[in-house]
Amino acid sequence: MNDLITSNFNLLHNNNIWTQLKKNFKVEIDKNFNNFFFVINNKNILRNFDNIHIVLLLEKNNLKEILEKVESLSNKKNKLFFLYLILENNNLKDNNLILKSLARIINKLNKNLNENLFIKIFNNLNDSYFNLRNKTYLRFPFDIKFLGFLKKNVIENLRALSSKPYKLIILDCDNTLWGGILDEDCIDGIAYGEDGNGLVFYEFQKKLKELKNKGFLLSISSKNSEKKVWATMKNRNMILRKGDFVSPKINWNEKHINIKKILNELTLRPEDTVFIDDNILETQKVKKYIKKINIINFNEPTDTYYKIKRDNRFQKLRILKEDLKKYKQYKIKSQFEDQKTREGVSIKFYKNLKQRLKPLNCNKFNFNRALQLFNKTNQFNFSLNRYSNLNLKNKIKDKKYRVLLFELKDKFGPHGIISSCILKKNNKNIEIVDFVVSCRVISRFVEDYMIYYIVKKNKAKTYIINYDKTHLNRELIPQFLKKSYFNFLKKEKNKNIYEIKKCDTLDNVKNIF
């Protein structure tokens, strides 16, 4: 991804403080003084960068003009903006007036750019960060050390942006969600509350609830009585309740067995999961049997809170509408898994699901979800091509390509946009360049119906699909390619090329939907 840092003051772009940033990331520092006014209104500049970092010093004499320009960002979709807003150390009355004006603009920006905007306000910076001499002679109103401070904040955001967030947080109960052991201390004896020994557990649950609201999934693997756990959460008026967890496993089985069941039910990988437990013997045992799972030992609550805050995989700068729906969608998946266990797998079972798969063209309303599918999906991603905003937009504009998304509903409810593909027309042939399906709906014939739809809706002589096999996508896709309508053609370097054959088996897929 390409990033631009611009500002309303001189960024001293040649200063060696920027060297590490330029070396480790694709970042350009604006060379022109007060250039952010020009940048945000110049389509040619915006087109060249995926993310724009805007650093603004807000003063009484420039506030109105700057806020008007910042407000204009509301009309610029499909671009991620980072706003670093710095307030001078004015008197309290002046700063309160600035913050009041700022709040109105931020509310509007959040309403229009909630998936594309990250704002950080620096109020009451230490006086040592400001320098009147530099402001006069260099048009840089700060001491040089401020560049190091700014660089640190930009790097934190870049790392959070490039890291893949955890999908699932699995928790122990005793001495993790509350203090003490439920079977020994009973419901009234455990530590939990807004003061005293229970405060750290209250704050921890508050943080977990915040993560859940950002799209992280919560589950439980705990050696306990399930009825007592839910009763404890209810009777102690805890922040987290039964409804906040998906596929919880509360019993006396080994925790690694329960965790494997949770992962299988949710079709998630250990690599995308973190397990938090106070008992180091239990975490070691889980790590022994599930080697790729991530572990946090809850031996010191404040230390655990710090680990979560420091770990980029707990950060989610861009929160899509799909992320906010994720909890409900995985609850639906849990209902699906329960019914499948009860009834067994059969064509009749799938027909009774009343699945509806709706194709959608990629547009400004679902563009970010398409980016997320291509860049975050691993297990059922044929090519593992990763796209920047600009690259995907170019694909959409190119008449040789078509970017499709698919939205799924069934009798349990809406699953949202769960898959995407990119088709390329070569003479009379169709090449499936990318083929991606969310793991939570794999093995429901969704992937089969996508192939059926592509063949049905395109008049082509041949249809081919590319599979670039790596350690990330080597488990599920080879099984899918054993279907009778795939025929292996050849191998080019790491790429396996398959032909898709029209046949009755493929036509029959439509009967399931």
- 37 and 63 inside one domain: yes
| DSSP structural state of residue 46 | H
| DSSP structural state of residue 178 | B
- 99 and 156 inside one domain: yes
pLDDT at 185 over 70: yes
- 303 and 399 inside one domain: no
- Report pLDDT digits (tens) over 26-50: 899 999 898 888 888 888 888 888 8
Of the candidates 105, 129, 162, which is a domain's last residue?
162
Residue 97 within any structural domain of the chain: yes
Residue 14's domain is classified under what CATH number? 3.40.50.1110
Q: Per-residue pLDDT averaged across 330-340, rounded?
A: 73
| Gap between the Cα atoms of 482 and 506, Å rounded | 13
Residue 318, pLDDT score: 64
3-state secondary structure 459-474: CCCEEEEEEECCCCCC
- CA end-to-end distance (rounded Å), the chain: 38
Q: Which of 108-117, 235-244, 393-402 has the lowest mean pLDDT?
A: 108-117
CB neighbours of residue 29 within 10 Å: 21
Residue 90, pLDDT score: 61
| Gap between the Cα atoms of 471 and 484, Å rounded | 25
Residue 413's domain is classified under what CATH number? 3.40.630.30
pLDDT at 88 over 90: no
Residue 301, pLDDT score: 63
- 154 and 174 inside one domain: no
Residue 291: pLDDT band (50, 70, 90) is: very high
pTM: 0.60
- Report pLDDT digits (tens) over 433-476: 999 998 888 888 999 999 999 999 888 889 999 999 998 898 88
Residue 76: pLDDT band (50, 70, 90) is: low
Of the candidates 122, 137, 162, which is a domain's last residue?
162
Residue 492: pLDDT band (50, 70, 90) is: confident
pLDDT at 72 over 80: no
Residue type, 346: S
